[in-house]
């Protein structure tokens, strides 16, 4: 038995892929599973800003961390996320405009993935729970995730408030929208772009 559980499982593309996620007071933990057996693990410490997040923000951050860390497994296929924070089930089906801004930013980072959240009791998420409490303290993040984390921290340090710049304030009036629509119809380059968006990239480029 010990020999069987000592080795990580090889990914089977045809089987369901599950991520266990959890957030503790000081860290994030995640495990990638198939048939309840681990394929990969990940953990990291929360920075000084993230430690002040509300619990739902930490739990969603754990999902973002897992999806991006396991990108080579999660991108381009459905993935079920197990979380012990039940409100996340509702957050994932709400319109973005109805979600607080910090959660909006995290959800935007997840738009490229096909994730569904499923509530499970914390006692069932023993891998993610253990990893979140015994996290790695010095993980070097690179690429887009690092840049987004940095920008998020800068915004918060500058005193950005959740109430400022709500998305519905950025929506154009009907007159302005019509003006942009008319100008777009008169622009040859934008018409080419419009056709590509609607019909897809041409097989032969002339």
pLDDT at 85: 93
- Quote the pTM value: 0.66
Question: What is the spatial distance between Cα 3 and Cα 45, in angstroms, rounded to a whole number?
Answer: 30
Q: Which residue in the block uniquely carries the two structure tokens 């957050």?
A: 91
CA-to-CA dists, residue 205 to 14, 95, 197, angstroms:
35, 38, 15
The percent of residues in the chain predicted with pLDDT above 90, rounded, is 49
Report the C-alpha dihedral over residues 61, 42, 24, 119, rounded to 10 degrees.
70
Specify the DSSP element, H or E, that contains 22: strand 18-23
- Mean pLDDT, rounded, for 108-133: 92
Comparing 127 with 198, which gets the higher pLDDT? Answer: 127
Provide the pLDDT confidence category of residue 46 given band limits of 50, 70 and 90: very high
Phi-psi category of 163—alpha, beta or left, where left has phi over 0 and alpha has psi -120 to 50? alpha
For the chain, which domains are there?
Answer: 17-134 (3.30.420.10), 170-205 (no CATH)
Q: What is the pLDDT of residues 14-23, one digit of tens each?
A: 889 999 999 9
pLDDT at residue 170, as a whole number: 47
Q: How many beta carbons lie within 10 A of that of residue 99, not counting itself?
A: 18
- Condensed to tens digits (0 to 9), the pLDDT of residues 145-194 reads 555 554 555 454 444 444 444 444 445 578 888 888 888 889 998 888 88
Q: What pLDDT score was predicted for residue 201?
A: 76
Joined tokens for residue 24: 């503790």
> What pLDDT was estimated at residue 176?
80
pLDDT of residue 168: 46
């Amino acid at each position: 038995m010990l020999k069987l559980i000592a080795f990580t499982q090889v990914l089977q593309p045809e089987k369901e892929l599950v991520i266990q996620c959890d957030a503790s007071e000081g860290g994030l933990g995640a495990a990638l599973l198939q048939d309840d057996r681990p394929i990969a693990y990940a953990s990291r410490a929360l920075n000084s800003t993230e430690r002040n997040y509300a619990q739902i923000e930490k739990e969603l951050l754990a999902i973002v961390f897992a999806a991006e860390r396991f990108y080579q497994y999660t991108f381009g296929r459905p993935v079920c996320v197990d979380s012990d924070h039940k409100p996340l089930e509702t957050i994932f089906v709400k319109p973005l405009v109805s979600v607080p801004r910090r959660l909006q930013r995290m959800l935007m980072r997840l738009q490229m993935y096909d994730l569904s959240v499923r509530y499970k009791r914390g006692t069932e998420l023993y891998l993610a729970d253990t990893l979140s409490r015994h996290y790695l303290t010095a993980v070097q993040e690179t690429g887009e995730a690092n840049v987004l984390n940095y920008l998020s921290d800068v915004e918060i340090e500058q005193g950005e408030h959740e109430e400022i710049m709500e998305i519905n304030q950025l929506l154009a009036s009907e007159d302005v929208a019509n003006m942009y629509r008319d100008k777009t119809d008169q622009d040859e380059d934008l018409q080419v772009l419009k056709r590509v968006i609607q019909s897809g990239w041409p097989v032969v480029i002339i």
